Structure 1
């Protein structure tokens, strides 16, 4: 299962680096781990959106999109906020992606900082 591979890669990054770094550092390291596992990733990818009669080319930006099947939204925060989950769910709905992972690398134990969401 794709989410298990991604979680394993995230655990590897967290085990090596620990909490306390910038989100961008974890993103780059996680992207490396995912690619080394043979996955296709897009980092900081902008997504277009059509709203009524207008087209917005760069409507939103996702942290990592894996195999165009799973969206990863990374955080390095003290605690998740309801907004974080809402953000990921909106990205999933607008891209018609059925699975997403919200990962907070600022967790002492990464397993406590992972939320798997599905539509």
Structure 2
């Protein structure tokens, strides 16, 4: 694990420790952004991603968080993650040309079980 993803995971664990499970994804997103602010970790929220298809640029996709312009963080709060959640993050990595991503599911009783790292 690299230092930046470790810092992001640490911030997410703190949010999960304070809030527990059972809240909406948007609540965890706002809390994680606040925690990142408190830790001095730069991020952008709800970043638009363009998809290119045969010369056509299609807009409408959004990254939950982009940390330091390097790590895509996709947040979920679902008891069972849909299979497309991982595919979605991989697609975001390919579309942006970025190499690292985190899928964090706040619905897990132990957050460490809800964190998946991706690297292309």
Query: Could you say which TM-score interval applies, normalised by the shorter chain?
Result: over 0.9
1:102 paired to 2:94: no
Q: RMSD of aligned C-alpha atoms?
A: 1.1
State the 1:86 CA deviation. 0.5
**Structure 1 unaligned runs (5+)?**
none
Query: For the Cα contact (< 8 Å) 2:49–2:92, is it kept in 1?
Result: no
**Structure 2 unaligned runs (5+)?**
none
4+ residue runs over 3 A deviation: none
Query: For the Cα contact (< 8 Å) 2:50–2:95, is it kept in 1?
Result: no
Using the TM superposition, name which of 34-43 and 2-11 deviates more: 34-43
TM-score, normalization: structure 2?
0.93
**Number of residues of Structure 1 aligned to a counterpart in Structure 2:** 118
SS in 2 for 1:116: strand
State the 1:113 CA deviation. 0.6
TM-score, normalization: structure 1?
0.93
- Paired position in structure 2 for 1:35: 37
